[in-house]
Structure formats: structure tokens, C-alpha cells
Structure 1
């Protein structure tokens, strides 16, 4: 919860309100009585009386500040607005009443005029100010909550825009298209049937990207079907240099994930590691009992570390955050890189 600082108010507000209270007490009493008292005052008496008003002001506002901080821990404004307001107001009045009664037990010179009438006036003023102070603190709380919500909305809009831009950049990565077109060109003369199959899988990849780009969640089975086409292209290019194993998904039919999540994780592994037929890149796709998808690969990092911008992992994390889902768990171990993403129950998501 936001912690408020009242430093400036304490420095400038307390003397100002003390002067206001002093003027109120003067105005609500007959002027003749006031002048009679002042004729007997010494300069120190004026200072003393003004000091009493500063002390009373501090009591009024500090009680409100401390009560607000205390009650925020047990009874929030959002969930218990009416009872919280009444409780804080009543506690404030009780504290002020007790302190005023204790103050008027002291014997002051008669010319001060601190009689029962003055005591009642002070109590009434305390009740009025207690009501206003409680209302101010309630309004302050909701103002800051509204402001925080507005700032969060702006931030979420920025993240949404950035995530969409990142997704578009990944989907339309020209290197991916150029590399595959070069492969097709090389296959047309030597292996025309393989070239046709390659083009078919390449077109299905882009068809999938176009049909899912506006969806937040797609079934796990659809993503895995897409991945088969995606991996086919790499298998044609690298052969046994990339080995991918996929766990059984028979009991995951109701689960889903953001589109292209698995593709981004596999691309991340391929992009940042070196591999060959003799030392293949091994990617294992498994599922945990608590409905997490795990993508794990052995590590043989490329020498150019500057090329690792983590755009794909950032894209996945931001999409999960925007959907209020558990963010991915990334484990960068000495010999293994592992990412766990939470699968999403599609039925539950549609019912929320």
C-alpha cells in the first residue's frame, strides 16, 4: 500500500490550522468576554494560548493520520467503506474527547476563561474537524487508488503495444523467409518432391500465423500441429543436427497457450546454439503434472553473445502478464537451458 508523507503539511499546515482554530474560538465567543480576558494577558499568555491551539491541531490531525495507518492493516476502505468510516470517526472522537477532558482538568488563571462553555465548544469543534479529517483521508485514499489505476492502465497499454510489435516482428522476420526460400531454390533442381513438401509446410506456417495472430489462446493440439510443419523445415535443412522429442499430450486436450509460444521457445534454442550431425541440438518438450509445458535443450552457445536479445522470451512473458497468468520460469543452467510455461485451461478462461 502507498505510504504517504505529510512532511510539508506538518511544517506549514499545523501553524495555519492552529491560527484558524484560534480565530474560530474568538469568533464564537462574545467579543466583550474576549477583550476582558485579553486585558489581563501578558505577551507570554498569548504565546501560550496559541501553543495550546497548535497542540490541539497536532492532536486532531496526527490522530487521524495514525488511525488511518493502523486501520489500513485490518479494514480497507475498498471492502468496508461505511463501517471503516464510522469506526475511524468514532475512534477519532473518543481520543479527542478524552484528551480535551484531561486538558480541562488543569487549573488555569480565571482570566483565560477556560470554563465548561469553552470545554463544550472545543469538543464540538473537535467533532466537526474529526468528521472532515476522516472524509479527507477517505477521499485521499480513493484518489490515489484512482490515480494508480490510471497509471497502470497507461502502462498496460504500452506493454500491449510493445508485445504486439514484438509479435509482428517475430512473425514477419525476413531472415526466416529468406533462408527458407534459399532452401527451396536449392531443392527444386535436386529434390523436386521435397521442395514441394517444403513449400507446403512453409505455406501452412504462414497460414497459421495469419489465423492466430489476433487470438490470445489457442489449443495445445493446434500449436503442436503447427510445430510439426515448423520443425520439418529445420529437419530438411539440418537433418539430424536437430532432434526434437515431444511428450504424449493425451490428457491435455482442454489446455491451451498463447499462439506461437512453442515456436518462439524452439526458435530461441536453435538461434542461440551451435549444432551439427555429430553434436546435435536436443530439444525435449514435456509436460508436468501441474499443467506446465517444459522446453529443455542442451547448451552449446554461439560465440557472438551480443546477438542474444531475448526478444522471444520477453514476448512470451509480456503476453502471459497481460493475460494475468503465471509468468514463465526460466532456468539457465551450465549445460541445459529450460523454460516452463503454464498451460491455460481454455474452458475456465472462456467462463471468466
Structure 2
């Protein structure tokens, strides 16, 4: 917090020092009617203060609206257009104000529009300094974030593999398979195939940042098939996803993690069946929804849950992982991503 305050104080100091100095320069660049230097500087300082601070507020406004590096072209375009409008309108209005106050000898309103190009040039020079500093800071933060998230990705891969290939998971699967072989050989064969597909998917995609929704859904169906053998009448899963969304991308194992969390934190019994629904909402986000029936004792977690998903999506600049809890349901909404093949840039698909 202290560091943030120091930066703000330094920015204010630099800004007002710049205003004082620029006002002196502009006093000589603008050909105003002859008068005392004090009067000229008063006019120049007033204009410089208003235009500099106005431009600064525009920079901050569009910086908040388009904060990411990939949004730089849009941020610059909107800032430039706003500056042109601000200076074109502001210069004549200030001249009229001076004239209204009886200071017409200090300012000739007919020259107001002639000042706009020079004022705009000064604003662009100042703005380029602000933008370069901001861009460098964002670039530095991006490098630091990428390094941190690479480390997190490594931990994620280990934790997911550790969780999915743990002796507990494997023991349950093999135990279920043993029972199936004795009772239903056909289902046992299908169970073995699905189990191998689950492990194959994990091993093939553990190093990938993104997979298609189509592949992730197929994996999730295989995973849920294994679970439904253990809970034949007590676990119900429904997938409602239109084909038009299947080519969009998602971080691998996202749906599986959310399904696993639902299994881990909720009771599953004949009297309390667990219902899981996977669908894509209007904002093109995958939603995993389950009815809420919390266990009294929660199983030990390896922390491959919501925090993990949030951190992985922060890598792509998307932090809007929505979690909604109602009296009866628990929902997690994860945005689908779109990869531009020519640049390999990741972005949220247009709605």
C-alpha cells in the first residue's frame, strides 16, 4: 500500500512540475495580445492546468476501460479521439469564459481553433510518456505473472496427476472392475475402455494450456461413466451443449475438477441423489451445476479446485470465474476461450 501511495505522490509532483514548466513554454509559443508577463503566464497556466488534468483523466478513464496490453490499439484510438474532441471544444469555451470575465485583452477568441493543433501536439507528447510508462509496467507485470503461472501450471499438473492417479482412485476403479467382471463382462469391458481413455487424456493433455471443448466434454463423459458405475442410481449427469461451441477452447481438466468437487463435497445416496448439469450459457461460458447437499465431513483435498482454475485462467487474462451458491444449487461458470490461429492469441469469443 505504501508503494502505491509513493507512486501516486510522485505522479502528482511530476504532473504539477510539468504544468508549471509547460505553461512557461506555451506562453511564448502562443502569440497573445501584448500584456504583462504575469497576465500572460496566468492565462497560460490556467489553460495548461485544465488541459493537462483533463487529458490525464482521459488517459486514466481509458486505461481502466481497456487495461490489458492486447487492448492497447483500442485504448490509444479512443484516447486520441477523445483528446481531439476535448481540445477542440475546450479551447473556445475557455476563451469565451475569459471574455465573459472581462479579460478579453488577454485572449483573442478568433485564434482559439488555431491553438488546437499545438495543444494537441503537446498532449500527445505528454500522453506518450504516460502510455510508455504504463505499457512498460504492464509488460513487466506480464512477465512476472507468466513466470508465476508457469510455476503454478507445473504444480497443477503434478496435483492433478497425483489426485487422479492416486492409489485411492486406482483402488476404487480396480475394485469396481473386479466386481463387474464377475457380474457383467460386457460392462466390465466398457469400464476398462473408459478408464484407459481417462488416463490417456490426462497424460496427453497435462502439458497443454488449452483443449477444445469437444475433447474436454468427451473426457468428462468418460470420467462420469466411471463414477456412475460406483453410484448407479444415485448420480445423474446431463450435458446440454450445442455443437456451435465445441470448437472453442477451455483449460484441460476444468470440467473434471468441477465434477470431482461436486462428488467430494456432496452426499450421494438413494435418498439424496446428486444431479450434475453441464451447459453453455448466453455469455459463452461453461456452467457446471449441481444440487447442494453438503457432506457433514468433507474429504481431504489436494487443492485442485476453484483456486486452481482461477489461477490458470489468470494466465490468459480472464479472471471472471463466477461461483454462485443458492439454497438448493451450486454453480461455477468458466469462460470459453478462442484462439486466433495466425497469432496464437487467446481471447474471449464475441457474444
> Do both share a fold (TM > 0.5)?
yes
* Mapped partners of 2:196, 2:133: distance in 1: 51
Residues 205 and 230, structure 1, Cα contact 8 Å, conserved in 2: yes
Question: Can you give the 5+ residue segments of structure 1 that lack an aligned partner in the other structure?
Answer: 25-48, 107-125
In the TM superposition, what whole-angstrom CA distance separates every residue of 1:299-319 from its partner, at most 9, and x where no partner exists? 222335696787422333444
**2:195 aligned with 1:202:** yes
In the TM superposition, what whole-angstrom CA distance separates every residue of 1:38-79 from its partner, at most 9, and x where no partner exists? xxxxxxxxxxx9976874673364144245247667997545
The secondary structure found in structure 1 opposite 2:166 is helix
The secondary structure found in structure 1 opposite 2:232 is helix
Counterpart of 1:8 (choices 13, 17, 39) is: 13
Query: Do the aligned partners of residues 184 and 14 (structure 1) sit closer, same or farther apart at CA in structure 2, a change above 3 Å counting?
Result: closer
* Mapped partners of 1:19, 1:253: distance in 2: 60
Q: Which residue of 2 aligns with 1:35?
A: none
TM-score (norm 1): 0.61
The secondary structure found in structure 2 opposite 1:284 is strand
Q: Which residue of 1 aligns with 2:45?
A: 58
Residues 267 and 293, structure 2, Cα contact 8 Å, conserved in 1: yes
Q: Which residue of 1 aligns with 2:109?
A: none
Provide the alpha-carbon RMSD of the alignment. 5.2
Q: Which residue of 2 aligns with 1:274?
A: 267
* Mapped partners of 1:158, 1:187: distance in 2: 41
* Mapped partners of 1:329, 1:174: distance in 2: 24
Query: Do the aligned partners of residues 162 and 302 (structure 1) sit closer, same or farther apart at CA in structure 2, a change above 3 Å counting?
Result: farther
Query: Do the aligned partners of residues 8 and 51 (structure 1) sit closer, same or farther apart at CA in structure 2, a change above 3 Å counting?
Result: farther
1:1-352 pair list within 5 angstroms = 7-9=12-14, 55=42, 58-59=45-46, 61-69=48-56, 78=77, 88=87, 133-134=122-123, 136-154=125-143, 156-158=145-147, 160-161=149-150, 164-165=153-154, 167-174=156-163, 176-183=165-172, 186=175, 192=181, 198-213=191-206, 214-220=208-214, 222-236=215-229, 238-240=230-232, 242-247=234-239, 249=241, 251-252=243-244, 254-258=246-250, 259-288=252-281, 292-304=285-297, 311-323=304-316, 327-343=320-336, 350=341
The secondary structure found in structure 2 opposite 1:294 is strand
The secondary structure found in structure 2 opposite 1:173 is helix
Q: Give the number of equivalent residue pairs.
A: 302
In the TM superposition, what whole-angstrom CA distance separates every residue of 1:82-131 from its partner, at most 9, and x where no partner exists? 995798599779969x979x87959xxxxxxxxxxxxxxxxxxx99x969
* Mapped partners of 1:64, 1:250: distance in 2: 52
The secondary structure found in structure 2 opposite 1:204 is helix
Query: Do the aligned partners of residues 225 and 163 (structure 1) sit closer, same or farther apart at CA in structure 2, a change above 3 Å counting?
Result: same
The secondary structure found in structure 1 opposite 2:278 is strand
Residues 205 and 229, structure 1, Cα contact 8 Å, conserved in 2: yes
Question: Can you give the 5+ residue segments of structure 2 that lack an aligned partner in the other structure?
Answer: 1-6, 29-35, 63-73, 107-114, 344-351
Residues 293 and 340, structure 1, Cα contact 8 Å, conserved in 2: yes
The secondary structure found in structure 2 opposite 1:274 is coil
* Mapped partners of 1:58, 1:292: distance in 2: 52
- Following TM superposition, by how much is the alpha carbon of 1:133 offset from its aligned partner in structure 2, in angstroms? 4.9
* Mapped partners of 2:225, 2:120: distance in 1: 73
The secondary structure found in structure 2 opposite 1:245 is strand
Q: Which residue of 1 aligns with 2:348?
A: none
Residues 87 and 120, structure 2, Cα contact 8 Å, conserved in 1: no
Higher Cα radius of gyration: 1
